[in-house]
């Protein structure tokens, strides 16, 4: 694990390295994805089934693309042997309770002059949730994507996820989706599933918004259909940044950094600390843990490429680096983490104190784990109920309310040479 003194040069180099992980830098796949998206848009089910056969090795039809009640029952039987169903239900309660506090309501403000201004909050009609399959099947992500939509009041929540070679969907994924309140599950994956959700096919209805993680083909497909539908974000590889001082436990810090490094070779794990002693101890702990963890090859490649330990001269410099990197997950393990947190502007999720480890947020605490990556925490937020609603402005004026301001509106319109705008007001006050 590299230990580097934090300065402007090292900070710039790290930021450049991290940006290489952005889906925006994988242009060689763009043409392939666009061809898939356009084919599904033009040929619907025919193209969707052909790609499913090609990429997943499964023959699908309009009769078999929908997950049946029997398949869901079989998934429960399979998962119940592990005790995961009860865990999913407890996690669901925490996630739903947290997101209930995000709900927004319509409001109206009436004034004595007869004017009424307001905002009408309306849930989206149809939301599409994409869930990866295979080794990247994460029931926790299913909960995090469906529950906010359910709390928001979305009329129909549609899930798409690739089938395995046996034509079945991952059992944990199905149980989590059913518990979270999904309305229908389709066996469709990859860029072709995103296109089907965006444009609709004979079997899959067009949705208003697509959310959920996926590989580079899914990410680029979401980018390609944005504008035809809304999307949550273009997700990049996982990342964690730990901000720590001399009071931090090096064993805890090391284990938390590795919790993200194990996701894939492009995941990023960074420690920024004011303590040289802590930096050296964390590096040793990381070395020891990596040797015994099951995904040690992935972890090692991640750390070699995107793992960093930075030693800052003082906490202010450390926090400046934190805000520049704008990590997906930020752990603050300092003497007074709440005070430190007030100086942080940019982070997807902030974990305070040595017992608030990142996996707590991934699975159980309640806040959403779908977070901005690749520095986009500077302007994006975690997935929330807000992502599944839209807001309409409400304006209602009487003639008496309009009269005092009508001349101002006319002048404004005429200053922009929009005489029809001005006339629209004038005609209401003709003699």
Active site residues: 328-329
Asked if residue 189 lies in contact with residue 164, where contact means CB atoms within 8 angstroms, the answer is: no
| Interatomic CA distance for residues 185 and 169, integer angstroms | 9
Give 349-405 as a DSSP string.
EEEESTT--HHHHHHTSSS------TTGGGT-----GGGGEEEEEEEE--HHHHGGG
Give helix then strand counts, H and E, for the chain: 18, 14
| Interatomic CA distance for residues 325 and 398, integer angstroms | 52
DSSP letter (8 states) at residue 58: -
DSSP letter (8 states) at residue 53: I
Give 211-247 as a DSSP string.
E----HHHHHHHHHHBTTBEES------EEEEEE-TT
Q: Dihedral, CA atoms, 414, 418, 420, 422, nearest 10 degrees?
A: -30
Give 83-112 as a DSSP string.
THHHHHHHHHHHHHHHHHTT----EEEE-T
Q: Which residue blocks in 44-170 are alpha helix, DSSP H?
A: 45-51, 69-80, 84-100, 139-152
User: What phi-psi label fits residue 44: left (phi over 0), alpha (psi between -120 and 50 degrees) or beta?
Assistant: left
């Amino acid at each position: 694990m590299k230990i580097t003194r934090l300065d402007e040069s090292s900070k710039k180099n790290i930021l450049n390295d991290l940006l290489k992980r952005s889906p925006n830098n994988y242009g060689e796949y763009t043409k392939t994805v666009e061809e898939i998206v356009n084919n599904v848009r033009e040929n619907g089910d025919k193209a969707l089934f052909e790609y499913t056969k090609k990429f997943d090795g499964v023959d699908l039809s309009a009769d078999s693309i929908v997950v049946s009640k029997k398949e869901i029952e079989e998934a429960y039987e399979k998962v119940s042997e592990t005790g995961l169903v009860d865990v999913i239900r407890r996690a669901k309660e925490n996630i739903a309770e947290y997101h209930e506090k995000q709900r927004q309501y319509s409001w109206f403000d009436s004034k004595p002059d007869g004017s009424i201004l307001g905002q009408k909050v309306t849930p989206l009609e149809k939301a599409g949730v994409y869930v990866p399959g295979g080794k990247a099947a994460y029931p926790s992500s299913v909960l995090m994507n469906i529950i906010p939509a359910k709390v928001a009041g979305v009329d129909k929540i549609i899930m798409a996820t690739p089938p395995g070679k046996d034509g079945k969907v991952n059992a944990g994924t199905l149980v989590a989706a059913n518990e979270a309140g999904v309305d229908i599950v389709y066996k469709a994956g990859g860029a072709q599933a995103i296109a089907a959700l965006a444009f609709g096919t004979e079997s899959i209805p067009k949705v208003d918004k697509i959310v959920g993680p996926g590989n580079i083909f899914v990410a680029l497909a979401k980018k390609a259909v944005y504008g035809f539908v809304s999307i949550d974000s273009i997700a990049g590889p996982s990342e964690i940044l730990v901000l720590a001082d001399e009071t931090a436990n090096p064993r805890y810090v090391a284990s938390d950094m590795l919790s993200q490094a194990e996701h894939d070779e492009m995941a990023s794990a960074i420690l920024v600390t004011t303590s040289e002693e802590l930096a050296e101890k964390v590096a040793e702990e990381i070395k020891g843990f990596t040797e015994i963890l099951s995904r040690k090859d992935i972890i090692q490649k991640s750390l070699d490429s995107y793992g960093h330990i930075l030693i800052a001269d003082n906490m202010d410099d450390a926090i400046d680096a934190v805000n520049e990197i704008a990590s997906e997950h930020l752990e603050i393990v300092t003497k007074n983490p709440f005070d430190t947190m007030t100086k942080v502007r940019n982070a997807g999720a902030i974990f305070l104190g040595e017992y608030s480890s990142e996996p707590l947020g991934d699975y159980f605490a309640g806040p959403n784990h779908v977070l901005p990556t690749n520095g986009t925490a500077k302007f994006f937020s975690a997935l929330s109920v807000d992502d599944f609603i839209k807001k309409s402005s409400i304006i209602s004026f009487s003639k008496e309310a309009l009269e005092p301001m009508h001349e101002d509106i006319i002048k404004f319109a005429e200053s922009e040479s929009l005489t029809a705008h001005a006339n629209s007001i004038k005609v209401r006050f003709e003699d």
